[in-house]
Structure 1
Amino acid sequence: MNVFKRKLFECECRSYVFLGLLLLALLNCGIVLGATRNVVLLVEPPAVRRQQHVTLKCTYDLKNAPLYSVKFYRGSLEFYRFSPGELPHGKVFPFPGINVDLSLSNASQVVIRNVGFGLTGNFSCEVTADAPYFSTATAYAYMQVVEYPEKRPMLFTEQNRYEPGDVLRANCSTLPSRPKAELKFTINNIVVNTQETQYIPTKDNLFASRLSLKLQLQAIHFQTGVAMSHLSNSIYASDSRASGGALVLRCTAQIGNLYQEYREIELGVPQRDPVPARVTHSSAESLQNFVFKIFSSSSSPARFSSLESRLMTISLTTALIGAFHWLQSHTR
């Protein structure tokens, strides 16, 4: 009889163990079916300017489960938590450079004010459902802190207008930024190869960019509508048609896909100064005859009939003829 009871007890134990395992399996299935889903972290804006504010939005689907907590991390360190079951609901954990605006932060977002370059990096939000599931899911996002140049690029050339054969020298620069701004020159929308952009660091961890250009211009540079390619700081064309078009020099500053600005100058063939008419010998002779005619005219006053007046006339005529000969020699 004791043996029978022992065997019955062992069977009951096995049954309880089996039921326990079955309940655990069902509970695990319930956890999977009720798990937190579709967790997404958005950084708005993804590239935030220094000393501005940024919003980290955490969206999720708990289905019918209540929310236990939402935690925000910078790297592996938690800096903000929202727990509906606690008072206050929002809690801030000290983190260097992170200034949380509690009035705008809640179960779906956290607002950080006055961001600095040190916050560039990975952020995450961790969402946990309350009982009976206690499921957790995490989403990640990258935030970049930037500073754009305050103005468009500055572009300078030695001359205002150029013609074929001239050497074009130009300088382009930008105000400090972070990340660094890449610069490039184009002539009539065709890229001109130059040296690499120079970067000048500033005391506030920014970089000013500068690029120089030295290029001997050819007739092909002033043509438009020509198929061109760029090689070794020169531009070559497969078509020699000349259209007499202007030369447009442009400098473009670009920071990845975040920022792009340009400045351009329209250059062209200069207008040559008109050449004065040449003074010929016959013109000098005519002047001489004209002066003598004036001073020898019968209508001239009597004071010019004296020897002194005639000498004055000869001297003046000689000086004028000499001046015309000098002008003739310098205008040829």
Structure 2
Amino acid sequence: MELSQTIIQSIFLLLNLLISRTRGLKLVRLDVPAIADIFSPVTLKCEYNLEDMNLYSVKWYKDGFEFFRYMPDYDPRSQALKSSGITVDLQKSDMNQVTLINLQFNHTGNYKCEVSTEAPDFKTVAQHANMTVMAYPTEDPKVEGVLSTYSLGDYVYANCTSGKSSPPAILTWHINGAKPDTWSWDNRRGWMEKDSQGLYTRTVGLQFQILSSHFTSNGGGLMPKMEIRCTSTIGNSVRHKAVYPTLVRALTSNSLAQKRLTGSAGVLRPPISIALVLVTSFRT
């Protein structure tokens, strides 16, 4: 009987110990965007559980330097430290979040939320995360150099130029949804420029010969259009610009058409004379 009581008491003490360790101040979630756009405000969030304790302060730091604090017993409760070089929107900042405006590239860094309770507990918890400030393009890439009409065998010489960004955007070409051959993607004609604000524009060239296969569907039939698309990618920002040459057929005699459409390898193409009318379409 005494042994049973001893076991019960031991279990009770163990449960109390576990409960005491799980109760108290907890920082539940820190939400710091991995990437922030320099042209837009960004909000950092800090969720915590006080249990039965009283909040003393919530402080935010960048690279170890405090730039915002919330203290419920002070007036005003929300305070921004101007010496930090970070601009805080106090109207949108409180005990659970802080909103940054007028971002700069040097605002890239490590951000920490620190939560403290009042006496007699004096508990403090903190979490931190990195954020990188980028400049997303504010416009779609531009495709230039494409003529209004083509015939089979003609060459397309095009340039794609990204909108201003930092770091430089990655540009990719697609023809009818597929990446062109390496030789078609003329990176040698590409270049990059940087303006006084530290923003980059990148240009990449494309060249290829118009073939009937560009207008052939998977089923072997002719498609009315082909698509030439340039995609600009930086961080979470993806922008497109596409042009759609339209296939217009003019029926001729088989012998004349075959003579005009025979490739250098002697492969015959469909007995038609083809003109391409360019229709541009902007897509984001």
Root-mean-square deviation over aligned CA pairs: 3.0
Query: Counterparts of 2:191 and 2:135 in 1: how far apart (Å)?
Result: 18
After superposition, what is the alpha-carbon deviation per residue over 1:288-326, rounded to whole angstroms, capped at 9, x for unaligned? xxxxxxxxxxxxxxxxxxxxxxxxxxxxxxxxxxxxxxx
Query: Counterparts of 1:76 and 1:54 in 2: how far apart (Å)?
Result: 19
Q: Which amino acid aligns with 2:207?
A: K
Q: Hey, what does 1:133 align to over in structure 2?
A: 121
Q: 2:95 aligns with which of 74, 96, 107?
A: 107
TM-superposed CA distance for 1:39, in Å, is 3.2
1:84–1:215: structure 2 CA closer, same or farther, 3 Å change rule? same
Is contact 1:39–1:137 with CA below 8 Å preserved after alignment? no
Q: Secondary structure at the match of 2:227?
A: strand
TM-superposed CA distance for 1:60, in Å, is 0.3
1:76–1:266: structure 2 CA closer, same or farther, 3 Å change rule? same
Query: Counterparts of 1:162 and 1:266 in 2: how far apart (Å)?
Result: 12
Q: Which amino acid aligns with 1:151?
A: E
TM-superposed CA distance for 1:270, in Å, is 6.4
Stretch of structure 1 that moved more, 33-42 or 258-267? 33-42
Q: Secondary structure at the match of 1:84?
A: coil
After superposition, what is the alpha-carbon deviation per residue over 1:98-155, rounded to whole angstroms, capped at 9, x for unaligned? 1223344322222322121211222110111222322221122333333222321111
Aligned runs of 1:24-35 on 2, under 5 Å? 32-35=21-24
Q: 1:217 aligns with which of 202, 207, 210?
A: 210
Q: Which amino acid aligns with 1:222?
A: F
TM-superposed CA distance for 1:30, in Å, is 8.5
Determine what percentage of the aligned residue pairs are the same residue: 30
Is contact 1:34–1:65 with CA below 8 Å preserved after alignment? no
Do residues 142 (structure 1) and 125 (structure 2) align? no
Stretch of structure 1 that moved more, 99-108 or 264-273? 264-273
Q: Which amino acid aligns with 1:262?
A: H
Query: Counterparts of 2:212 and 2:91 in 1: how far apart (Å)?
Result: 66
* Contiguous gaps of at least 5 residues in structure 2: 1-16, 253-284
Is contact 1:39–1:60 with CA below 8 Å preserved after alignment? yes
* Structure 1 consecutive aligned stretches of length 4 or more whose deviation exceeds 6 Å: 28-31, 270-274
Q: Which amino acid aligns with 2:37?
A: R
Structure with the bigger percentage of helix: 1
Q: Hey, what does 1:251 align to over in structure 2?
A: 230
Q: 2:42 aligns with which of 54, 57, 76?
A: 54
Q: Which amino acid aligns with 1:210?
A: T
Structure with the bigger percentage of strand: 2
Do residues 266 (structure 1) and 239 (structure 2) align? no
Q: 1:70 aligns with which of 46, 58, 69?
A: 58
Aligned runs of 1:84-103 on 2, under 5 Å? 84-103=72-91
TM-superposed CA distance for 1:191, in Å, is 1.0
Is contact 2:164–2:199 with CA below 8 Å preserved after alignment? yes
Q: Which amino acid aligns with 1:127?
A: V
